[in-house]
Chains A and B, each alone.
Chain A
Amino acid sequence: MRHGRRAIVFLGLVLLLAAVPPAAALLGQPFYVDLLRRVMIFAIAAVSLDLILGYGGMVSFGHAAYLGVGAYAVTILAVYGVHNGVLQWAAAVGASMLLAAAIGAVSIRTSGIYFIMITLAFTQMLYYLGISLDVYGGDNGMRLPMRSQFGGLIDLGNGTEFYYLVLGLLVLVVLFVRRLVDSRFGMVIRAAKSNEPRTRAIGFSPYPYRLAAFVISGGICGLAGALLINHTAYLTPDLMHWTRSGDILFMVVLGGMASTVGPVLGALVLLVLENALSNWTEHWQIILGPFLVLVVLFARRGLGGLLWREERDG
């Protein structure tokens, strides 16, 4: 049982999250349903980044781009009267995958710091594109005309139903990514991260595999974008601001890279911490900043590393 404790942590986390809506109702604190729904949506984005970052070694400093594209896809369809959720979300995932294919095709040729910079550059371009798209609110952003419709099956306007949908999707995404990284495909991208010359020498060309991982990751993050826009019901190019990419990156590292479950933990701690600190003082960033530095300096394997440390390979 190599991943025994990690599985237990995940199960515990899911049970805890599942208990939030009734507990919040009991305590008369419905706000926490919203907060944790937001946490879970970002957790999906963080897990998607973990696929290419933790397992594939690709430090994308522009992951917010797919969050944005997913949100824009849903909103644009809604503006033109298409409210069918299945259609909207498929478009969000599809558009994100297309974009990831284009960005990845160019970026994956570079490596190291250049990869970080080029992914950042592409996201900056999209950010400025978003600002100049007046039809969809430009910099001001715009309200989502109507939440995605699922023919009476699920009502996203109902906070609790939406919450459990997000929880379900989060569990699915985590299981899917786990499955993926243990498959033949996953072994190739992990091998290429661990030792690229060796991987090439035994006959793998890492490029197409990395690109495929990049595209899958973009697609999942696009789904998170579709969820996020339904959560906030408000579209803004700020979704693609470079600091947002930094936040997602930090969630992954905080929770523990290459652990799938870790990023969920990272999203939870970062967003709840941010919420608590900003309630406490307007100068909350002076605490959050050093916290980031300390985590990087002293908790390199992230929170996951603390919780299931003894199970690391080797």
Chain B
Amino acid sequence: MNLQLVLEQLLNGGQLGVTLFLMAAGLTLIFGIMNLVNLAHGSFYMVGAYLAVTFYRWTGSLVLGVLLALPATLLAGAVVEVIALRTLYERDHLDQVLATFGLILFFNELTAIIWGRVGLFTNLPGWLSGSVDFGATFSYPLYRLVIIVVGIGVAGALWYMVTRTRLGMLVRAGASNRTMVAALGVNIRLLYTLVFGIGAALAGLAGAMAAPIYAVQPGMGDPVLIQAFVVIAIGGIGSIRGALAGALIVGMVDTLGRAFLKPALATLISAPAAQSAGPALASMLVYLLMAVVLVLRPEGLFPARGR
């Protein structure tokens, strides 16, 4: 095992981490403020990806495609919030889980009807498609570096928004005391719709950036959703800081597990046994991690305060 490979895998883990963070941030904001468990969050990832591809094809520019997909996903999120989810805030988690489970089925089928079941594929524009060389033997895909940079940028912007702006103040206040925010004369419904839209747009951004490297297909949001839930459960539901920490932990554990678990096991047990146990264990690893975290800290690593 060489250092260069470890470094490359750490970058891979970081890239998965920021993607998961974009998903988890919206999920955890929506939970923290509106107390809503939104299984349909993965659908916005999917919608963002589809819209980015569609706009990319219209405009011929990937950047423009992604930038147009953001407000469009925000709008889609706002519409879903107003039509279906608004009435769910006061319901228990069970109702929310079921209703949003229904929405997943709806969105998956809707995209299948609009765009067909075949995956949509796009190519990266030339200037993004190469890889960056670090020294003679180490190179890394440029686009993945871009994803990491954008992800870090968005995390920073989100931090600034939550801690430094009026909207962020309302968001933080809303998370700990809803009636107080209402008492401030803020239009709470509008605030909720806005926060939901932003959460959806973050998921949409993750999907839009994933669009050129993965297959854009109905149901593509489901595995990401489950992982994002693992992230926020580990980080502490309702906490942005927890979402960031959880996303990086899950990104690293999953990537490094897939890369190094089998060779590591092979030094302990026989190679054929490692051959079969390695991949199985690697796919179970993040769930195992979550179970252990919740046993030791039932509210996650960074529990949100004030609730």
Contacts and interface: CB of A to CB of B under 8 A. Distances in A.
Q: Direct contact between A and B in the complex (CB less than 8 angstroms)? A: yes
Contacts of A150: none
B37 A113 contact: yes
Contacts of A122: 287, 291
A296 interface: yes
Given A125-B284, A249-B98, A290-B106, A132 B276 contact: yes
A219 B226 CA distance: 27
A253 B102 CA distance: 13
A292 B294 contact: no
Q: Is the contact region of chain B dominated by helix, strand, or loop, or is it mixed?
A: helix
Contact of A113 (B91, B95, B112, B237): B237
Contacts of B103: 289, 293
Interface string B269-305: 0000000110110011001101100110011100000
B93 interface: yes
Given A106-B291, A110-B298, A250 B280 contact: no
Given A112-B93, A124-B226, A286-B113, A132 B105 contact: no
Q: Which of A111, A112, A121, A291 has the most CB of B within 10 A?
A: A121
A143 interface: no
B49 interface: no
B106 A289 contact: yes
B102 A292 contact: yes
Q: Interface range on chain A: under 10, 10 to 19, 20 to 34, or 35 or more?
A: 35 or more
Interface string A96-136: 00000000001001111110111011101100110110100
A275 interface: no
B170 interface: no
B95 A296 contact: yes
B230 interface: yes
A129 B284 contact: yes
Given A112-B93, A246-B97, A250-B98, 13 more contacts: A114-B299, A116-B97, A117-B230, A117-B233, A117-B290, A120-B226, A121-B230, A125-B284, A132-B277, A285-B108, A289-B103, A296-B98, A297-B99
The 5 closest A-B pairs by CB, nearest first: A292-B102, A132-B280, A289-B106, A289-B105, A286-B109
